[in-house]
Amino acid sequence: MPKLQGRWALVTGSSRGIGQQIAIGLAGEGCNVIIHGRKTENTEKTVELLKPFEIETAVTSGELDSDTGIRTVIDGVLAKINHIDILYNNAAIMNPWKEHWSIPLDDWHKTFQVNLFAVIKLCNCFIPRMLRRGWGRVINVTSGIKDVPQLSPYSVSKAAIDKYTLDLAAELKGTNILVNTLDPGWLKTDLGGPDADHEVETVLPGALVPALLEDFGPSGKQYNAQDYK
């Protein structure tokens, strides 16, 4: 029996790229998947890719760059199922490339809104439900980016994700809600660009490791997708 059979996962940003690969990987483990995209029509390809798997799928759509958009995403989930077992916070944006001193504060606000504040709101909504059920896995996608000051809002937002994940793990210590980060590596996606080191498909099987942890397993740990082949 697939390890995650009957579980429900929400994968943000799963209409393409890394999130789409994660959705496919979870489906292969028997996990039901809620696919998220900015617009409903953007999710159609992922929906088609998951059809061969014997799972249920659902779709939620909405931007993560505002409180209203995040609420729309949450409402879209809760209209279909009143809980999720796995929250995979994958969606992120990268600020435009600019010299460090020229990056406007607005770029910082926009990047942190999607990359950090949306994650916090989703965790605040769904983790209490996981606690009531006594099982949950939260995976926050981080980044190994360094020494690129032109992309500081992105890199600093990911550093904040790392610290937030550690705080969540401390808060949830002793529960069976495990919170970890995944560094997918530098992948050839719309975000990573064509010169990245790896094809997007190489995020698997590593991206599944934190979702497949045994009960009361590691929490507050970083997993690197490229360590698993």
- Stated pTM of the model: 0.96
Q: Considering Cα of 58, then 63, then 64, then 66, what sign does the dihedral take?
A: negative
> Domain extents for the chain?
8-227
Helix (H, G, I), strand (E, B) or coil at 209: helix
Is 3.10.20.30 the CATH number for 8-227? Answer: no
Q: Which of 154, 164, 223, 228 is catalytic?
A: 154
Residue 112 has what pLDDT? 98
* Residue 154 falls in the annotated catalytic set: yes
Residue 190 has what pLDDT? 77
pLDDT in tens, 93-105: 999 999 999 999 9
Q: What's the CA angle centered on 73, arms 170 and 56, to 5 degrees?
A: 90
Helix (H, G, I), strand (E, B) or coil at 178: strand
